[in-house]
Structure 1
Amino acid sequence: MSTDKTGNFNFSMNLLSFLELHLKKIIIVIILLTSVFLIKEWQKNNTEKQSKKVSQIFYLVQKKIEQKEQALAAEVNKKNKKLNKKQKKYILQKNKKKLQTHFASVIVEYKKLLKDNQQTSVFFGASLNLAKFLYSYKDFNSSVKVLLQASVKVDKKSLFYPLIFQTLGLNYLKLGQYDKAVNAFINITSKQKLFVFIQPSSLLNLSLAYFKLKKWNLLKKSIAQLEDRYPQSSQTATAQAIKRYLILNKK
């Protein structure tokens, strides 16, 4: 392998690692935004009954997940005292898959709460919570199903609208269904004047989908939009790394 080819290969691998880190950061941002928007929705409907629903839906899964994961982490640390932090983290992630069987009843309970609260203001945030939980355990198909149910009900001007379609697009990326990912992200990027807080990451995710589809002209167009609209964003810096890849590989 020539020096140029080796350099291109290493650059490509670094780019892929960087993009994977980007996806993880996006999920964390969505989790935080969902929390904020759920609280706002609760404040709009601050009755005892509504408060109880929010309490049930918002905290149900999180508390049970935290308890199970803390127990698993303690078990991994106890059994693998001689391993370093990175090795323990790898083992923990590998074993997390086993936890899914423990959550079957929780998922059933959570879905029932969703069904009972379809007409309430907390339905969309609760749907996102469940979808992100399923995403974190790599059950992307189930996550998509939950999000599609929410996507047909959410108002196009709701703050939950871009979060639902962003998470939907991320699931499609993981499933390798890149055309569907494109459609999900375009639902956000086509509304340029709305949802400014999530436009840069949506344009970058759209670029990733085009990258996977090898639609180079559309990829260049989405990168150009990102550079033009949000020149100072960290997403633009990532997009420029993709741009460099295109130049190096003469795409």
Structure 2
Amino acid sequence: MTKLSVNINKIATLRNSRGGNVPDLLQVAKDIQRFGAEGITVHPRPDERHIRYQDARDLVSVVYTEYNIEGNPQHNFIDLVLECKPTQVTLVPDAIGALTSNAGWDTVKNQSYLKEVIAEFKSNGIRTSIFVDPVLQMIEGAKATGTDRIELYTEEFAHQYGLGNKKGIEPYVAAAVLANELGLGINAGHDLSLDNIKFFKDNIPGLLEVSIGHALISESLYLGLENVVNMYLQRLK
């Protein structure tokens, strides 16, 4: 079964929009795990517009499944991850002002930098994953960095699937096959939803984990958080 890690950035966005502590981010993380999710993901950004660095610290004592911290490995982020020691760190090449993640790493151009950062995290017992587009050269480059896993950036798949083009899965299948051959674990995330997650999971060999936030929280407005978490779990079986 592919594991579901729920990204709770949107819960923090809602909380921050009003001030105070409603909704309570830590309680939501506890509840999501109680509902059956196998992980919690956060993606703090430098401006702390949703997840704050202190949130990431506070979650250490709350997350008893898998804890995944995503972000661009700048100095403050690296220090945060080494302090929190999550189960996994996912490296994402976000520009400082990016609204959301919009590209994977160029694992060839940034190879020496990624090698250095990944080695530091792994020496501290933290599993590493890097965000990549489904491009075979980038998968090969990822292997050379020493990362444990890749996270396939799935926005283009989701877009094509929404248009009815199921062939949009093909680059992801090819990327997954190569990753499996190279001994890389496979995660995936971005714009995955209840509509497309089963098709994606059924076609990607060796898919270990998906990280889903925006769609899952949006769907929960209509269907309820506990219900939606379990709907994802059913589709990921």
Asked which structure has the greater CA Rg, the reply is 1
TM superposition score normalised by structure 1: 0.27
Larger proportion of strand:
2
Higher relative contact order (CA 8 A, sep 6+): 2
Larger proportion of helix:
1
TM superposition score normalised by structure 2: 0.28
